[in-house]
Chain A
């Protein structure tokens, strides 16, 4: 047992790995130590001082989250000195916080609020001046309100380390410290990818999505508008969480019921256009492979990844698939194909999408996304926003009957559903590409090599003698690693899937937010991904090219994949972006 040490915490003996921290040891021993800045695997910096403990023989209080264990160590977690220190620190944090809890977006899902309840803070002994704050809502995706920021740095570590983007960091020092982009610029003016991972890391309401619910309420209330909605693959395994269901609960058939009751005229499914994406992107891949096109082909579904590529890796823009994302393919078809089909003026259509993603809010406003003659998607709501709307309307997901999506844009396959998890686009594409190339039925359609939480997954797929090297990366630091390998000639891939968010869309920046404590307990991305694959398994059709609605759209409207109409509506090109143009 050379790798284990035994220590005593509050008189309880516990044996842990010698690399463990006191916090880990305490949790193993069932002893709760409060934390605030700690976010497992992301932010372990001992800054907030909430997890202070006494160590026998040590002089000062120590932070359990970063304190390594040692043999025979004696730790006390609830002495009067420890409790007083935590209370004073928390009171100080609250004294520089705007305390607008009931109107805060994170009311009842706030770690600061929970902690002050837990530590019994009933009054503030040290009130005083509040630090100067910034409110930045220029970004189409993310709003910063530093009057609520507790400077825990969870967003900073997420942006720097998890995403390797690093557009926010502490500016100034001492009481004036503020987490902001360089020179206090807006997030809109810096090379932010809009991924929103900072929001899901924030323990308080200092970071939130740009709220678009008002615009949707207005459209729903407007009798002139024909309001359609699409729901992204990952929503069906996360929306239930906002209604008390377990992480990754499947609520696919509750969503149409809920959205109809909210007043949407048609409830469609982005899974449909995910299938369509496979038809186009699979064909594009084969075309590039067979006709000497630019390889590796890199997927283009994730708008956070697209912006990352435009800013940081413009040399790969030609590798990026010309396919629009499923959201935007859907948007383009609704105001053309669908409008024509049901005979409605596309000007009257208000197209809403429910996305796990904050970058989608940005994507729908891009100039490339007006190919129907109108803005193809009018409003994007995150999982959190739609759940707020449902709650406001008194709609409880748990008591609704099961209903189906509307036809034809609500018909989909399992291949569309797995777009929501990392590796899913790759797997869905392989299912279709295999059958197109070989013209034989694919027996085992589960490409498990590309599933799972590992940051970079690689596989070589044998398509009837044609060896295809694929890679899947999720989280932008993993994307960066893959691209660097390709750039340096260390890897030779044909096809790469990149998702901006760790875990793919199930871990998107618009998804329900878990506390640090819960993130310690479960890997929510894994739970949601498991559910996604369960959805896939239970679908009657699991290959995109078998989707009858997709076949119909080609027959009735598009012609063939990569055809003229497809090019006009479903494909685009992205552009190199400067890193800090406003600085010049």
Chain B
């Protein structure tokens, strides 16, 4: 094996690939070749580190220097300075947004040092396209341990004892699910990996698949051994081409290494894995809809029971686990249930990955122990609210989650506390909102998504979400009526109770939680025809504050509608009939002389 004095890790996850990491990787390879360093420095493509907004990200070991937003033209300098002369290129190092402080090592950065990475343990560190790198990091050791030292029931017991719960939305105890499938009668059973990550903004599953695909294969094999299955299917979105490609490579490599297929580790255990690509319907993340889609039917849920553990794929006992859930399994088998259950809180064990987005300084993926308070994630890890604005709410659980107010910031993040507060863990979306966000508008935004993604099978979801949306539309258009809030609440509760599947049962959450915590905003829209946050266009107009106006004319110049006019030394005026409320004048006025009312 070759020994290198330095490793240049270039992220080739979807985020960094989009911002141009391919060219950066090429530049490194060429430059290192040019400088004759090919035998000393190795360039490695990796999966995601989490801070995608700063991509392309480059990490250089042994120092752990974390370079952000690297361009191909920066590469000669990094090679010359860092790799040849040993001088870190300060200007490219990660910079704390508020203190402007630069850190020499990744592990000094708050964003990383407060995280606990289990599911993402290999992401950003190994080359996901080389099985040896996975094996060198204990890869397939858990499978070996399970197959050679544990009975299937012992595997299930270990998972049960660990307290691992589903990371895809429902939070069902994984060990119990495996037990049901193991107990179910039938010669043929299946293991399915739900990689149909559909929550807008969530990309933890994609990151695992792109950065550490073998861990999913290994976990599925362990699950197959535990329940007595010999075939597995990964249902992955076709919109994740990198994940698909790396899974294909991983499957091929694992087969070639005898780690997938027949007689694995010579134990007589057979297991193979196949990919099924989904076409992007959100509802296919629901397990029964997913199974229908794998079978080639329209992706629509069916009522449960029977549960897939008894009647799943092609009517056979089937376990379906989400990517992140599976990513925890090998670590639990290797390090033991006690280790895993020591992390997290009493009812929610282990860690959870969140995709943090919205009005926050660091958007990206963070993996934290369960029970961590919301405040710690938002302020300590992700650097607080951007542009010194005031925190208003955080939405957890994706489009079907709820919006939680500032008074709940100290709430620990756990399955049950979130549900009690009217939200949910979901797959781990976390969208932060500030004072400029109108909560009625936010509810409308999320409902628009779920309404469009309803499969149309049951009337509560198909028509109920549409009717809720219509009520929200009229409220935000200033046409709300007295009684609309009660009407919404009643309909939302009914849809929640009556809908066929999880999509419909949770779609009303954003509506109900915003009414619960921000009822005054609804009332302002309906009674006063005002949007307190100034976000609902129909309810605002723009005015010039004469005392502040210096008659510079910038507003009139940027106005695309010709709605602003004025003369020298006279305050300018906005013709509200012509104004299209594009916000340009408001953004550009150097004297804050334009206000939204």
- Which A residues are closer than 8 A to B by beta carbons? 45-49, 52, 60-63, 66-68, 81, 84-85, 88-89, 92-93, 95-96, 125-126, 128-129, 150-151, 153, 169-170, 172-177
* Residue of B306, B452, B467, B497 touching A60 (CB-CB under 8 A): B497
The residue on A at minimum CB distance from B453 is: A174
Q: B457 to A60, Cβ gap below 8 A?
A: no
Q: A173 to B456, Cβ gap below 8 A?
A: yes
Q: Does B491 contact A (CB under 8 A)?
A: yes
Q: B451 to A92, Cβ gap below 8 A?
A: no
Give CA–CA (A566, B495) in the complex, Å: 65
Enumerate chain B residues within 8 angstroms of A173, measured Cβ to Cβ: 281, 283, 453-456
Q: B451 to A95, Cβ gap below 8 A?
A: no
Shortest Cβ gap from A204 to chain B (Å): 13
* Residue of B300, B465, B466, B498 touching A89 (CB-CB under 8 A): B498
Q: B456 to A174, Cβ gap below 8 A?
A: yes
Binding site secondary structure of chain A: loop
Enumerate chain A residues within 8 angstroms of B462, measured Cβ to Cβ: 151, 174-175, 177
* Residue of A52, A128, A129, A175 touching B498 (CB-CB under 8 A): A52
The residue on A at minimum CB distance from B466 is: A175
- Report 11 cross-chain contacts, Cβ distance below 8 Å, ordered by A residue: A46-B500, A49-B459, A63-B303, A93-B459, A125-B491, A126-B463, A128-B467, A129-B466, A129-B470, A174-B461, A176-B456
* Residue of B283, B451, B464 touching A88 (CB-CB under 8 A): B464
The residue on B at minimum CB distance from A61 is: B497
Q: A174 to B470, Cβ gap below 8 A?
A: no
Q: A67 to B497, Cβ gap below 8 A?
A: no
Enumerate chain B residues within 8 angstroms of A89, measured Cβ to Cβ: 459-460, 494, 498
Give CA–CA (A479, B432) in the complex, Å: 60
Q: Quick one: which of A48, A60, A126, A172 has the most chain B CB within 10 A?
A: A126
Q: A46 to B498, Cβ gap below 8 A?
A: no
Q: Does B305 contact A (CB under 8 A)?
A: yes
Q: Does B505 contact A (CB under 8 A)?
A: yes
Give CA–CA (A124, B146) in the complex, Å: 59
Shortest Cβ gap from A567 to chain B (Å): 47
Shortest Cβ gap from B588 to chain A (Å): 38
Enumerate chain B residues within 8 angstroms of A93, measured Cβ to Cβ: 459, 463
Give CA–CA (A49, B490) in the complex, Å: 17
Give CA–CA (A438, B324) in the complex, Å: 77
Give CA–CA (A93, B455) in the complex, Å: 16
Enumerate chain B residues within 8 angstroms of A128, measured Cβ to Cβ: 466-467, 470
Besides A88-B495, A177-B457, 13 other A-B contacts (C-beta < 8 A): A45-B303, A45-B457, A52-B498, A66-B303, A92-B460, A92-B467, A128-B470, A151-B459, A173-B454, A174-B451, A174-B465, A174-B466, A177-B462
Enumerate chain A residues within 8 angstroms of B494, measured Cβ to Cβ: 84-85, 88-89
Q: B505 to A60, Cβ gap below 8 A?
A: yes
The residue on A at minimum CB distance from B474 is: A128
Q: A46 to B467, Cβ gap below 8 A?
A: no
Knowing A66-B303, A89-B498 are in contact, say whether A177-B298 is a contact too (CB < 8 A). no
Q: B467 to A47, Cβ gap below 8 A?
A: no
Q: Does B458 contact A (CB under 8 A)?
A: yes
Give CA–CA (A175, B456) in the complex, Å: 6
Give CA–CA (A177, B491) in the complex, Å: 21
Shortest Cβ gap from A195 to chain B (Å): 23
Q: A48 to B458, Cβ gap below 8 A?
A: yes
Enumerate chain B residues within 8 angstroms of A49, measured Cβ to Cβ: 458-460, 498-500
Q: B459 to A175, Cβ gap below 8 A?
A: no
Q: B456 to A45, Cβ gap below 8 A?
A: no
Q: A81 to B497, Cβ gap below 8 A?
A: yes
Q: A175 to B460, Cβ gap below 8 A?
A: no
Q: Quick one: which of B452, B490, B500 has the most chain A CB within 10 A?
A: B500
4 closest Cβ pairs, A-B complex: A177-B456, A174-B454, A46-B303, A92-B463
Q: Does B537 contact A (CB under 8 A)?
A: no
Enumerate chain B residues within 8 angstroms of A88, measured Cβ to Cβ: 460, 464, 490-491, 494-495, 498
Q: A95 to B303, Cβ gap below 8 A?
A: no
Shortest Cβ gap from A84 to chain B (Å): 6
Enumerate chain A residues within 8 angstroms of B306, measured Cβ to Cβ: 68
Q: A174 to B498, Cβ gap below 8 A?
A: no
Per-residue CB contact flags for chain B residues 487-528 toward chain A (1 = under 8 Å, else 0) read: 100110011011110000100000000000000000000000
Q: A96 to B453, Cβ gap below 8 A?
A: no
Shortest Cβ gap from A68 to chain B (Å): 6
Shortest Cβ gap from A244 to chain B (Å): 33
Shortest Cβ gap from A251 to chain B (Å): 40
Give CA–CA (A169, B298) in the complex, Å: 9
Q: Quick one: which of A60, A93, A96 has the most chain B CB within 10 A?
A: A60
Give CA–CA (A276, B455) in the complex, Å: 53
Enumerate chain A residues within 8 angstroms of B451, measured Cβ to Cβ: 174-175
* Residue of A48, A61, A67 touching B459 (CB-CB under 8 A): A48
The residue on A at minimum CB distance from B461 is: A174
Per-residue CB contact flags for chain B residues 434-466 toward chain A (1 = under 8 Å, else 0) read: 000000000000000001111111111111111
Give CA–CA (A175, B504) in the complex, Å: 13
Give CA–CA (A60, B298) in the complex, Å: 25
Enumerate chain A residues within 8 angstroms of B95, measured Cβ to Cβ: none
Q: Does B529 contact A (CB under 8 A)?
A: no
Enumerate chain B residues within 8 angstroms of A68, measured Cβ to Cβ: 305-306
Q: A61 to B454, Cβ gap below 8 A?
A: no
Enumerate chain B residues within 8 angstroms of A85, measured Cβ to Cβ: 494, 497-498
Shortest Cβ gap from A21 to chain B (Å): 11
Q: Does B114 contact A (CB under 8 A)?
A: no
Shortest Cβ gap from B427 to chain A (Å): 20
Enumerate chain A residues within 8 angstroms of B456, measured Cβ to Cβ: 151, 170, 172-177
Knowing A46-B500, A85-B498, A174-B452 are in contact, say whether A126-B467 is a contact too (CB < 8 A). yes
Q: Does B302 contact A (CB under 8 A)?
A: yes
* Residue of A92, A125, A129, A175 touching B454 (CB-CB under 8 A): A175
The residue on A at minimum CB distance from B495 is: A88
Q: B455 to A174, Cβ gap below 8 A?
A: yes
Enumerate chain A residues within 8 angstroms of B453, measured Cβ to Cβ: 173-174
Q: B464 to A92, Cβ gap below 8 A?
A: yes
Shortest Cβ gap from A437 to chain B (Å): 48
Q: A47 to B457, Cβ gap below 8 A?
A: yes
Q: B454 to A62, Cβ gap below 8 A?
A: no
Enumerate chain B residues within 8 angstroms of A172, measured Cβ to Cβ: 456
Shortest Cβ gap from B436 to chain A (Å): 30
Give CA–CA (A137, B127) in the complex, Å: 60
Give CA–CA (A5, B478) in the complex, Å: 57
Enumerate chain A residues within 8 angstroms of B457, measured Cβ to Cβ: 45, 47, 151, 153, 170, 177
Q: Quick one: which of B456, B466, B470 has the most chain A CB within 10 A?
A: B456
Give CA–CA (A47, B504) in the complex, Å: 12
Q: B298 to A96, Cβ gap below 8 A?
A: no
Give CA–CA (A45, B455) in the complex, Å: 14
Knowing A85-B494, A92-B467, A174-B451 are in contact, say whether A46-B302 is a contact too (CB < 8 A). yes
Give CA–CA (A176, B456) in the complex, Å: 8
Enumerate chain B residues within 8 angstroms of A151, measured Cβ to Cβ: 456-457, 459, 462
Give CA–CA (A169, B458) in the complex, Å: 15
Enumerate chain B residues within 8 angstroms of A176, measured Cβ to Cβ: 456
Give CA–CA (A399, B451) in the complex, Å: 55
Give CA–CA (A500, B303) in the complex, Å: 32
Enumerate chain B residues within 8 angstroms of A153, measured Cβ to Cβ: 457
Enumerate chain B residues within 8 angstroms of A169, measured Cβ to Cβ: 298
Give CA–CA (A74, B317) in the complex, Å: 27
Q: Quick one: which of B305, B467, B495 has the most chain A CB within 10 A?
A: B467
Shortest Cβ gap from B278 to chain A (Å): 14
Q: B497 to A126, Cβ gap below 8 A?
A: no
Shortest Cβ gap from B415 to chain A (Å): 14
Enumerate chain B residues within 8 angstroms of A81, measured Cβ to Cβ: 497
Q: B302 to A45, Cβ gap below 8 A?
A: yes
Shortest Cβ gap from B399 to chain A (Å): 13
Q: Among residues 289 to 311 in chain B, which have CB atoms less than 8 Å away from a CB atom of chain A?
A: 298, 300, 302-303, 305-306
Q: B305 to A67, Cβ gap below 8 A?
A: yes
Give CA–CA (A89, B463) in the complex, Å: 9
Enumerate chain B residues within 8 angstroms of A47, measured Cβ to Cβ: 457-458, 500
Give CA–CA (A242, B208) in the complex, Å: 64
